[in-house]
Amino acid sequence: MTMMKKLLTSAVASALMVGGAQAEISDNTVKIGYLADMSGTYRDLAGPNGLAALNMAIKDFGGKVNGAKIEVVSADDRNSPDTSSSTVRRWVENDKVDLVAGMVASSVSIAVSKILEEHDRLGIISGSAASSITNEHCTPNHIHYVYDTYPLANGTASAVVKEGGKTWYMLTADYAFGHALEGDVTRVVEANGGEVIGAVRHPFPTQDFSSFILQAQASGADVVGLANAGADTTNAITTASEFGVTQSGQTLAALLLFLTDVHALGAETAQGIQLTTGWYWDMNDETREWSDRFMEETGVRPTMVHAGIYSSTMQYLNAVAATGSDDAQTVRQQMMDTPINDMFAKNGKIRVDGRMVHDMYLAEVKTPEESKNEWDLYKILRTIPAEESYRPLSESKCKLVK
C-alpha cells in the first residue's frame, strides 16, 4: 500500500468514526492560515515550500473534511511580531480562520499564540525553536510540533562536549529563539563538565559577521557555538571559514542547521559539522517516497519543517474528521489523544503543554567523497529517544501542567 493510500484510508476511517452524526464544522468550512517568512532570512527552511507541503496534505486528505471544504490563506510574517499579530487578528476576527499553521521566528509564534488564546483558535507551530513556547509561554491554543532548543542542546552540544569541547563561546541571535538556545546550551555544557566563557549577541538578521567571529576567535574557546538559524547561520559559517576558525583549532558548532543551509553551503564547506535534526528525507522508504513527491512539487528536498507541516496538517484534519468539529479545544484534545505514526514520526505524542514529542537524531554532514548527489548530505550518528529529547514535564513552568 502506498503512503498516499494509507493516508486516504486513515482519513476515511476517521470520517467513519463520526458516522452520520451532524457535523459541527463552522460555516461548513475548515479555514487554515499559513503564516511564515516568505522572503527573508528563514524563507528556505519553511517559506513558500512549507505552503506547498500544507497543500500536499490537503490534497492527499481529499480536499474536504466530512463534506466541508478546506480553504487556505497565507501571508508573509516578515519576521515581525507586530505584522504577524495584525495579520492573525484580522484572520480570526474577520476571515474566520480556524487554524494558523507554519510560524518560524519564535518572537512571532509567541505573539501570535496570545491572540489565538484570546480568540480560542488553534495554532500549530512547526518552524520555531524556542523551548519557552511550550514552557513559560504555553497556552491551551497552540501545539509546538517539529523541534525546539532543548533537544538541539541535548543532541549537538552534549556530543561536542563529550568529544573534548569543554570551553564555549556563544554567537547568539538577539531575540527569543537565540536567548533560549544559548540558555539550553549553557545548561547542557555545564552539566557535562564544560563552561561557557563568553557570548556576543548579534542583531537579527545580520549580513556581516566579521566582528563577531573575530571576538569568538579571540576568546580562545574550544568551541564557537552558533545560536542562530537560516541565513544568519550560513553567513556565520562562511565568515568563520574565511577567517580560518576551524583551521586554528577551534570547533564550530552549528546548533540549528537545516538541510537547505547545508545544501547552500555545500559539502566541501559544511563537511564534518554535527547537528541535531527532527527528521531527514533519506531515512527510510517512507520518508523517501514522500520526499520524492515533495521534490516533484517544489524542485528541492524537504527540511524537517516542511515534513512537519505536512504531518501536523494531516493530524489536524484527521482530528476534525474524527470529532466532526473545528472547535479549537475539541480538536486539540483529539490530537493529544491520537498517537502520531506517519512519514514524520513514529509513536509521537502531543503532551498537555502542547509539545509534540518524538525521536530526534544526531547527524553529521558527509564529506564530498561520501555524498552520492547534491542532497545526499547527512549520515545519522544516533537516535535520541523522545523521552531524552524534550524538557520533562516535571521541570515545566507551563500553566497547563498540574
Q: Can you tell me the distance from the alpha carbon of 55 to that of 37, in angstroms, rounded to the nearest whole number?
A: 17
Q: Are 332 and 141 in contact (CB under 8 A)?
A: yes
pLDDT of residue 248: 86
- CATH topology assigned to domain 3-147+282-354: Rossmann fold (3.40.50)
Q: Give the three cell numbers for residue 388.
A: 531524552
Query: Whole-prediction pTM value?
Result: 0.91
Look at 35-39, 144-148, 288-292, 361-365 and tell me which has the smallest mean pLDDT.
361-365
With CA atoms as reference, report the closest residue to 137 among 119, 154, 117: 117
Sign of the CA dihedral with 170 first, then 174, 177, and 180 last: positive
Residue with cell 518560524: 104
- Tell how far CA 118 is from the center of its chain: 24
d(CA 38, CA 75): 8
Which triple of cell numbers denotes residue 191? 552539566
283: Cβ contacts below 8 Å, ≥ 6 apart: 361, 380
Residue 1 has pLDDT above 90, yes or no: no
Q: What percent of the chain has pLDDT over 70?
A: 94
> How confident is the model at residue 19, as a pLDDT?
38
The Cα 346–Cα 304 span in angstroms is: 14
What pLDDT is attached to residue 322? 98
In this prediction, residue 246 has a pLDDT band, given cuts at 50, 70 and 90, of confident
Strand partners, 365: 378
Q: What is the pLDDT of residue 349?
A: 98
Report pLDDT for 24: 87
Are 3-147+282-354 and 150-277+360-386 in the same CATH fold?
A: yes
- Residue 255 is predicted with a pLDDT of 94
pLDDT digits (tens, 9 = 90+) for 145-156: 999 999 999 999
The residue type at 29: T
What are the boundaries of each domain within the chain?
3-147+282-354, 150-277+360-386
DSSP string, 123-173: EEE-S---GGGGTTT--TTEEE-S--HHHHIIIIIHHHHHTT--EEEEEEE
8 A C-beta contact, residue 110 and residue 88: no
pLDDT at 274: 87
pLDDT of res. 102 = 98
Express each pLDDT in 287-343 by its tens digit: 999 999 999 999 999 999 999 999 999 999 999 999 999 999 999 999 999 999 999
Task: Select the CATH number that applies to the domain covering 150-277+360-386 from these four: 3.30.70.890, 3.10.129.10, 3.40.605.10, 3.40.50.2300.
Answer: 3.40.50.2300
- pLDDT-derived band at 272 (thresholds 50, 70, 90) equals confident
* Residue 185 neighbours by CB under 8 Å, 6+ apart: 149, 152, 153, 157, 168, 170, 196, 225, 227, 255
